[in-house]
Structure 1
């Protein structure tokens, strides 16, 4: 589905994998900043003659306030739970006036940031990064062309040092990448291999080497990077190469999601190769291969946006499509070239991703000036925030629950079995995550009890937490 109006370019609004003999629902849209009449085009990518029947076309208009309101409603539903505390006290004196203090220790949803080897060379970079982020991926340091520049001589020095830094600071790491399906990003010596059997053997060695080394230490793996856009391994080893590599990876580390990681999926519609439909199809091919049905899949959308107004309606359609398989969707390399409205556009993009139920994590392809990230630069050379850096700090704070205090109310109820007093707190809406809960009494200095609490969607919309003092 494509929109075109006077003096505006073609704007792709959405796609659907239509099936013969039945109706298919095509959902999408466009973002506009002025009123204009548009024509809607429906086009098939099938090379054969195709008859397209269209029925019940509707365009619903949303202004920015309405769009943001819808985002907030979804966040309240999918990122938060209502929580009520029920506290059992030994006597009425302790119950009356007691307070519940709540502090989030770790949020479930993480806004992360990539890091590169330059973090090992700068204490200021380390301090800046570790004080903000709890999720990362390495730009190049885990890639094959870094860890085995010379055939048979593996060197994980940089990746190991960065893993150690992350683990010491309780930063989760997503592995990037086991393999790459574009020949030019293999080690130079591997690019020169012409014998399929030789290529197969060195590739299997690579998979075993990197995945065994970091087993149990990562939150996911990009297994065969950009295997929708490129098909080098399929050309060399056969059409099922991707599926076989994912099977091997799953056998080596069955507990982590294994991602298809692609570009031009949520950010750019016209190219078509990396469309949400094609990415979904690739993952379906992988998990439908014999023996792969139990693979923990994942969808990675790199999200390298152009420096123009993002089409949020298309992005929402894309995330709907990617999420329809039920696998976690991550934005894995989010950036945008510098432009006057970069802060505004980035906030729109990040809020759209955060408000989508399928999205489980976001990693920025960004950093301070010293790190060399020249598109999404978050600080200057002295580690003073750029405007984009201020935006990221704002979102980090907003997406982590702020400390709160709740009074104990309704403490007249008596538990007949033990003669205890039951106090109940007001309901509070909390972001999913791990919390420390402390019960205190303002007039009793030595009275303080701590509890751990996990707020998750699995607990239902209203989570009643029972504490005994």
Structure 2
């Protein structure tokens, strides 16, 4: 399957930025094309090959440890790579010597080895598409881009239609803004006329965006209950929430048969009272460490009965309350239930959850998918293959959750992974975004802005949730504020982007055609119009569309 969102090649075009035309841009336009089917022949290279155009690969001896294997692996010699550039690469790979193999791309420079900058689960006898990327932390005069089997077994690897396209930081930001302007905003024309239909020139118009279409929120914990400053701070910023732990099985039924939803009920009352949507997290967590102790002691029919009771209790109580449910959390890394209930256990979870709440969107949720490609348990193709495997079994699974717990983001890799996941044409959410505390608070802010801009600008991302629930002793990894709700660097970033990604208040007058036009972020709007001693108020919705929204007001 191919997923493509391409707006051209290396040609100049005009783009609307903040409602005004800017000078033409003649840099590269990002190519969102991705393929997940193994093909008889490779497609043409992206960007016509970029800086790899007319550059054949060299063959390097494959080495395991310090021992030459007798096999050769393809590689590219890369000269004069620039610090700060974002490099997007892709290639088609065919293997022999195994039915399938996880092929890993790596980069070796004079100063460092980047062990994984892209992967593909390649199959024997056909061509598989690898897409990835990298950003250097120091310039390189001579580097080696290698493609090797991730488990170091001897196989033949052939590559074709390779490309490597650099973007400056300014070019990358331009491409992000272009996608925001075309995917998160829409043109609007308001027409003002009198009761006889005559268009009125010079009518004063005030427009306010009253709500946003794009869900942007954060985890909350029971610590928000009764904490009015925390509640006010949260409601002022976010239109979506997820409960950090309060819906998890160990929280709602710590002892068998004794369910307690008190905290979850109170938190739901809070978000419902402020018209905030909420994700349900989670029904099952495959990690045995976070499975109730009494559940770990069950086997066979007793465990199956407990599982069925958990789904029915949770889903019947909260039917149609949560927009999503993370049904099976982190199933690529752990398999507690399938080990004990058989390979169809997960399929049963989704089927039963769908029957209990048919309108809820059912998600998988996983870490180390966009954060890195070094984790062989959760590569992009592993995720895709698992989803397809469950769908072949008849699973009702509607959404892809990417936890997004980053240390140092690799933005070209992050975008490439989302491109491939988008081929499934399912909703994609960044569900637990944070930056590791190991980098310090200042860099947390820097890296968070990179991740949020990347997520918001990608046309296949439908929502973003931060993992920043506030506790007396801090947060999981990253806090937005201190205990007095004074912003930390990450909080400053969130406030800046929230302001940037809203239309705010706009004022103007109608032209000679009785019209007023603007570009606005998707959402709900309130309009006030005045002309002489006449006035009118109205509202309208601005959903996603490629067409201009026309709205008429009669005075």
TM-score by length of 1: 0.90
In the TM superposition, residue 369 of structure 1 has moved relative to its aligned partner by: 6.0
**Correspondence for 2:346:** 242
**Correspondence for 2:406:** 305
Q: Secondary structure at the match of 1:137?
A: strand
Question: Counterparts in 2 of 1:74-223, with a 5 A limit?
Answer: 74-90=179-195, 95-193=200-298, 195-223=299-327
For each residue in 1:25-77, what CA deviation from the matched residue of structure 2 results, as whole angstroms up to 9, or x when unmatched? 32211011332122112123578753221123222111111110110011111
In the TM superposition, residue 10 of structure 1 has moved relative to its aligned partner by: 2.3
For each residue in 1:282-308, what CA deviation from the matched residue of structure 2 results, as whole angstroms up to 9, or x when unmatched? 222222213x3xx351111111112x3
In the TM superposition, residue 19 of structure 1 has moved relative to its aligned partner by: 4.2
**In the alignment, is residue 333 of structure 1 matched against residue 432 of structure 2?**
yes
CA contact (8 A) 2:220 2:242 kept: yes
Q: Secondary structure at the match of 2:391?
A: helix
CA contact (8 A) 2:283 2:328 kept: yes
CA 1:363–1:92 in structure 2 vs 1: closer, same or farther (change >3 Å)?
A: closer
2:387 to 283, 290, 311: 283
Q: Secondary structure at the match of 1:61?
A: strand
Q: Secondary structure at the match of 2:316?
A: helix
- C-alpha distance in structure 2 between counterparts of 1:380 and 1:48, whole Å: 50
- C-alpha distance in structure 2 between counterparts of 1:234 and 1:328, whole Å: 26
CA contact (8 A) 2:331 2:366 kept: yes
For structure 1, list consecutive stretches of 5 or more residues without a partner in the other structure: 412-422
CA contact (8 A) 1:331 1:361 kept: yes
Answer with 66-75 or 14-23: which moved more.
14-23
**In the alignment, is residue 432 of structure 1 matched against residue 537 of structure 2?**
no
- C-alpha distance in structure 2 between counterparts of 1:123 and 1:352, whole Å: 33
Q: Secondary structure at the match of 1:161?
A: helix
CA contact (8 A) 1:196 1:236 kept: yes
- C-alpha distance in structure 2 between counterparts of 1:97 and 1:462, whole Å: 22
2:538 to 441, 444, 451: 451
Between the two proteins, the alignment pairs up a number of residues equal to 447
CA contact (8 A) 1:243 1:285 kept: no
In the TM superposition, residue 239 of structure 1 has moved relative to its aligned partner by: 0.9
**In the alignment, is residue 344 of structure 1 matched against residue 430 of structure 2?**
no
CA 1:287–1:89 in structure 2 vs 1: closer, same or farther (change >3 Å)?
A: farther
In the TM superposition, residue 137 of structure 1 has moved relative to its aligned partner by: 0.5
Q: Secondary structure at the match of 1:104?
A: strand
**In the alignment, is residue 465 of structure 1 matched against residue 555 of structure 2?**
no
For each residue in 1:121-156, what CA deviation from the matched residue of structure 2 results, as whole angstroms up to 9, or x when unmatched? 422222221222111101110011010111101100
- C-alpha distance in structure 2 between counterparts of 1:49 and 1:387, whole Å: 48
Q: Secondary structure at the match of 1:324?
A: helix
**Correspondence for 2:36:** none
Q: Secondary structure at the match of 1:57?
A: strand
**In the alignment, is residue 386 of structure 1 matched against residue 485 of structure 2?**
no
For each residue in 1:246-296, what CA deviation from the matched residue of structure 2 results, as whole angstroms up to 9, or x when unmatched? 111111112121110001111122122122211222222222213x3xx35
- C-alpha distance in structure 2 between counterparts of 1:175 and 1:26, whole Å: 33
**Correspondence for 2:156:** 51
For each residue in 1:200-221, what CA deviation from the matched residue of structure 2 results, as whole angstroms up to 9, or x when unmatched? 1100100011111111111101
CA contact (8 A) 1:119 1:371 kept: no
TM-score by length of 2: 0.77
**In the alignment, is residue 357 of structure 1 matched against residue 459 of structure 2?**
yes
CA contact (8 A) 1:118 1:371 kept: no
In the TM superposition, residue 346 of structure 1 has moved relative to its aligned partner by: 1.0
For each residue in 1:156-211, what CA deviation from the matched residue of structure 2 results, as whole angstroms up to 9, or x when unmatched? 01100100011111111100001111222111111111x21111110010001111
Bigger strand fraction: 2
- C-alpha distance in structure 2 between counterparts of 1:371 and 1:77, whole Å: 42
**Correspondence for 1:418:** none
In the TM superposition, residue 112 of structure 1 has moved relative to its aligned partner by: 0.5
- C-alpha distance in structure 1 between counterparts of 2:510 and 2:192, whole Å: 8
Q: Pairwise CA RMSD of aligned residues? A: 2.0
- C-alpha distance in structure 1 between counterparts of 2:293 and 2:108, whole Å: 45
Answer with 273-282 or 195-204: which moved more.
273-282
Q: Secondary structure at the match of 1:90?
A: coil
